[in-house]
Structure 1
Amino acid sequence: MTNLTPTRRGRCAGIQDWRAQYRALQMTGEEAAAQIRDGDVLVFSPLTNWPREVDAALAAKLKAEGGHVEIDSHFAPKGSCLLAPDCTEHVSYHSDFFGEERAWVGQGNIHFAPVNLGQTPAWLAARHPRVTVLTCSPPDEDGWMSRSIWGTLLDRRVLEQCELVLVEIHPELPSFASDGENHTRLHVSEVDGIIETSGPLVESFSAAGDETDRKIAGYIADMVHDGDCLQFGLGGLANAIGENLAYAGKRDLGIQTEVLTSCVMELMKKGVVNNSRKTTCTGRTACAQFVGDRELWAFGHNNPDFCQKEICWINDPRNIAKNDHVVSINNAMEVDLTGQVNSETIGPRQYSGTGGQLEWVIGSQWSKDGRSIIALRSCYRDKAGQLHSKILPQLTPGGVVTTPRTWVQYVVTEYGVADLKYKSTLERAKALIEIAHPDFRAELRRNLPF
């Protein structure tokens, strides 16, 4: 990492070499928690990188001594002591993307922030945190730690703004290749405390695609050309798309994506993805978060075919558009007949988050010959077994607009592809009805909103 230079001055910066600094910075979770004050705003790294030692120690301190703190993050893991019901009066938690958080909203101290995912670091900085706590990989021979699997929301503006930066070191966290602007490395000399931790890491396992996913994926694969640069996310549909791309014999594909999953690993192993035609990070897969299991982490560990970047760089539409032929693929929960897309709420109830969808929709369409795809199943069954359409005359009451109709280009279901760009509202509605479930097409025609 000779091209990297520390920019923050930690508590022991200047004391001999980084190994001596590491020893001087070591402390327990309790000693770290003792440095956190009543009223502090803290930023935590998410999920697999959630700082479990400080979480437990700070929760114990707050319950014993009283006080209140604010924690800002997303994808908090099950088992967090600070977010448990017995800590409700001591903690306010803000998240810009719900995972487990959706089950805790009833506690009254869990709050959603509608923020584009690439703007997460700017949102965190705007909360004026005094303390950042994150979990990193062990340092390399030069003293550089990787912010690893989920740490890229903590960019340097957040780290440099904070008075106190505490790092937990987990021996099994992978280290990912990263360099240049918005790299994801952190030097020992830049931190104020180091807490060594251990124990099982939270893994995310791939879901297998079903027949509906495979039908949708087939249409999408037909829209992908050799040399395209792709972005796609999680779940069975992403895996089905990967399988279809490989089966179709696509070549020279590139990847720049906020979330990298096992299906990208398989495409790289098969040579379908080689990033040879990309303008940025040429020859390397660019991503922010490695969301998967130990097999994916082992594949990514110190693999020079990757370049991990902070989420603010990966999801910036201006950076996305620097690559030609970008194809963004994002999921939706429902779409109305004008093309408005809701990808995050069930009625008024927050289910997930705004995520990076709009950033990728814009960035891909700014890209030369770029295409933006919104994918969804045409229908779903409720708990009573009744079938409901996901293409609606109007969004469900209380449902939010994640992507406005003015930016929606292609919508894909298992029944086909609707191209909405530059179409009138009536033309849009007709195109969407054609890809709705057949059982609802007549009803949708009767309920045209215009």
Structure 2
Amino acid sequence: MPLPCPTSAPSASAQFPVLTAPEAAALIQHGDTLGFSGFTPAGTPKAVSRALALRAQAEHAAGNPFQVGVVTGASTGPSVDGALAAANAISFRTPYQSDPNLRQRINSGETHFFDMHLSMLPQNVRYGFLGKFSWAIIEASDVTADGQIVLTSAVGAAPTFCRVADRIIIELNRHHPAALRGFHDIYEPVDPPHRSFIPVFSPSDRAGTPYIRVDPKKIAGVVFTDLPDETAGFEDPTPVTTQIGQNVANFLASELRRGAIPPSFLPLQSGVGNIANAVLGSLGAHPDIPKFSMYTEVIQDSVIELMRSGKIEFASGVSLTVSPTVLASIYKDLPAFRSRLLLRPQEISNHPEVVRRLGLISINTAIEADLFGNINSTHILGRNLVNGIGGSGDFTRNAFLSIFTCPSTAKGGKISTIVPLVSHMDHSEHSVQILVTEQGVADLRGKDPCERMHLIIEKCAHPDFRDELRRYAKLSEGGHTPQTLANAFAMHQQLLRTGSMRGVTWNE
């Protein structure tokens, strides 16, 4: 039977202790490793982490050390990464983050961070590679006396955290309806050497249960909350992002016409952000793109809009990372989405086996790309972390068709995102098939390094930087990969010296 609502909370203590957020935070000790539910700010606990940040500040003021390891599905919201980083309460962090406070501490060396493919996180936790987990802190829409936990707007790695952690604290968030039961498909693979195939053969297939099953004795207590997800809206499309979206849509339509993509189309995976929203919008508006399904991580506003219009028939993801108004509209219309929307653990949404089986078209965003198709998704000037690799590598390496997008310039035209050699490599030329900017599309399939170089310069680079890049290509002739070590980072060095990549002087 479900736990009572906050108005009758005292009777719940007969099964699970009812705790305030400070009482729950008091259970956590310096040096503990914590696993938080959620994926992006969606489904992330918000009360216990803020209370824990206040406790850390009090301990530090008293001259005592207090830091914890923080492991999540992906990024979180201000109540986890923001509050804990501001309190200097994080000893290490993985696998992905997007908070400015935490980013500053990572890049200054104050907080240890190690990046990881998101599909790998749950199994690495189960294998013990990240050490002992003391606590799983889980946001739920419902929990039953026999240990069924119904999650909220995301799954992330919550099933694995609940499995391995010594104890569990539940934030029962009444902002999310208990009627979400049935929107989640909780499945964990058996660990090697006994693992079998993952029984997902279409985006709508279910493999597990609609809840996480735990031993009720592991639940240390329940904190009642009524807090919205800390998601933000997306910016309106710009002429550049709109053109990128149109270029992607036109390219995929041409692939359909020539028979390179099945007439029924293929499921899509899309990264998160303004460019991704613009790409999905263009795909939805293109008359030659048929109805399609999503098998992805993040379900964002544009996906819901296309579901309502009928362009997207089904969406499987890890999280509902949508604006507050869109989430409210979904919750008001749950019956309409119940048969068309499914949330899974990231280990399944991103699993190479399933990605290859379904034949996904993956569309992700780059910070910079080089003349051979190598992609930097994570670092500025090869040094400072932005967010992390996320799930882009899971999909790119295994997709039917892998696409990367980015504007051709940044910082008001001072920076070319097309460079001779990326300053940090997350995705190699062996995985990247298509590169798209607002300038055009470079199809890299079946091209040698020299062909790739000239194609990317002419199709993707901004006209203001093409002559510079052509000169680099001329100076680098020879060898299988026409690369000149003396000049490979000359554009980056010019940026460091002058604040712009324009006017680079090549070493001739």
TM over 0.5: yes
Q: Does structure 2 retain, via aligned residues, the 8 Å contact 1:153–1:312? A: yes
Deviation of the 1:45 alpha carbon = 2.8
In structure 2, the gaps of 5 or more residues are: 2-10, 189-207, 257-263, 477-481, 483-508
Q: Does structure 2 retain, via aligned residues, the 8 Å contact 1:233–1:261? A: no
2:46 aligns with 52
What secondary structure is seen at the aligned counterpart in 2 of 1:178?
Answer: coil
Q: Does structure 2 retain, via aligned residues, the 8 Å contact 1:134–1:151? A: no
Distance 1:108 1:50, change over 3 A: farther
2:121 aligns with 120
Separation in 2, partners of 1:142, 1:304? 27
1:110 aligns with 111
Deviation of the 1:143 alpha carbon = 7.3
What secondary structure is seen at the aligned counterpart in 2 of 1:99?
Answer: coil
Separation in 2, partners of 1:107, 1:387? 26
Deviation of the 1:251 alpha carbon = 2.2
Structure 1 position 77 matched with structure 2 position 89: no
2:408 aligns with 378
Separation in 2, partners of 1:210, 1:309? 32
Partner AA of 2:290 in structure 1: R
Structure 1 position 235 matched with structure 2 position 267: no
Separation in 2, partners of 1:386, 1:179? 45
Structure 1 position 206 matched with structure 2 position 234: yes
Distance 1:362 1:21, change over 3 A: farther
Report matched runs for 1:406-445 at 5 Å: 406-435=430-459, 436-445=461-470
Structure 1 position 186 matched with structure 2 position 212: yes
Distance 1:138 1:293, change over 3 A: farther
Structure 1 position 251 matched with structure 2 position 251: no
Q: Determine which of 133, 158, 166 is the counterpart of 1:163.
A: 166
Deviation of the 1:247 alpha carbon = 2.2
Q: Does structure 2 retain, via aligned residues, the 8 Å contact 1:39–1:67? A: no
Question: What's the % identity of the aligned pairs?
Answer: 26
Deviation of the 1:107 alpha carbon = 6.6
Partner AA of 1:57 in structure 2: A
1:14 aligns with none
Q: Determine which of 348, 369, 392 is the counterpart of 1:335.
A: 369
Q: Does structure 2 retain, via aligned residues, the 8 Å contact 1:138–1:173? A: no
Deviation of the 1:169 alpha carbon = 0.9
Separation in 2, partners of 1:109, 1:43? 21
Separation in 1, partners of 2:326, 2:112? 32
Structure 1 position 389 matched with structure 2 position 389: no
Q: Determine which of 333, 358, 372 is the counterpart of 1:323.
A: 358
Q: Determine which of 143, 149, 153 is the counterpart of 2:153.
A: 149
Q: Does structure 2 retain, via aligned residues, the 8 Å contact 1:82–1:91? A: no
Report matched runs for 1:290-309 at 5 Å: 290-298=320-328, 300-301=330-331, 302=334, 303-309=338-344
CA-based RMSD: 2.7
Deviation of the 1:353 alpha carbon = 0.7
What secondary structure is seen at the aligned counterpart in 2 of 1:169?
Answer: strand
Distance 1:92 1:141, change over 3 A: closer
1:92 aligns with 91
1:260 aligns with 299
Separation in 1, partners of 2:425, 2:107? 24
Deviation of the 1:194 alpha carbon = 1.1
1:277 aligns with none
What secondary structure is seen at the aligned counterpart in 2 of 1:152?
Answer: coil
Structure 1 position 29 matched with structure 2 position 24: no
Distance 1:22 1:227, change over 3 A: farther
Q: Does structure 2 retain, via aligned residues, the 8 Å contact 1:45–1:153? A: yes
What secondary structure is seen at the aligned counterpart in 1 of 2:34?
Answer: strand
Distance 1:83 1:58, change over 3 A: closer
Give the total of aligned pairs: 409
Q: Which moved more, 1:227-236 or 1:61-70?
A: 61-70
1:349 aligns with 384
Q: Does structure 1 retain, via aligned residues, the 8 Å contact 2:140–2:151? A: yes
1:8 aligns with none
What secondary structure is seen at the aligned counterpart in 2 of 1:312?
Answer: helix
Q: Does structure 2 retain, via aligned residues, the 8 Å contact 1:93–1:109? A: no
Deviation of the 1:52 alpha carbon = 3.0
Kindly provide the CA deviation profile for residues 275-319 of structure 1, in whole angstroms up to 9, marking residues without a partner as x.
xxxxxxxxx421111111234324554522112110010001111
Distance 1:205 1:196, change over 3 A: same
Distance 1:236 1:55, change over 3 A: closer
Q: Does structure 1 retain, via aligned residues, the 8 Å contact 2:243–2:438? A: yes
Distance 1:82 1:129, change over 3 A: farther
1:11 aligns with none
Distance 1:91 1:439, change over 3 A: closer
Q: TM-score, normalised by structure 1?
A: 0.83
Kindly provide the CA deviation profile for residues 18-62 of structure 1, in whole angstroms up to 9, marking residues without a partner as x.
x96774332222332333233211122353444333223333444
Separation in 1, partners of 2:71, 2:407? 33
Partner AA of 1:179 in structure 2: D
Q: Does structure 2 retain, via aligned residues, the 8 Å contact 1:380–1:388? A: yes
Separation in 1, partners of 2:55, 2:429? 49
Partner AA of 1:442 in structure 2: D
Kindly provide the CA deviation profile for residues 400-424 of structure 1, in whole angstroms up to 9, marking residues without a partner as x.
2111111110111112111112311
Deviation of the 1:269 alpha carbon = 1.0
What secondary structure is seen at the aligned counterpart in 2 of 1:411?
Answer: strand
In structure 1, the gaps of 5 or more residues are: 2-18, 275-283, 365-369
Q: Determine which of 312, 315, 318 is the counterpart of 1:288.
A: 318
Q: Does structure 2 retain, via aligned residues, the 8 Å contact 1:315–1:360? A: yes
Q: Does structure 2 retain, via aligned residues, the 8 Å contact 1:357–1:402? A: no
Partner AA of 1:24 in structure 2: F
Distance 1:349 1:84, change over 3 A: closer
Structure 1 position 360 matched with structure 2 position 360: no
Distance 1:140 1:129, change over 3 A: closer
2:7 aligns with none
Partner AA of 1:31 in structure 2: E
Q: Does structure 2 retain, via aligned residues, the 8 Å contact 1:258–1:288? A: yes
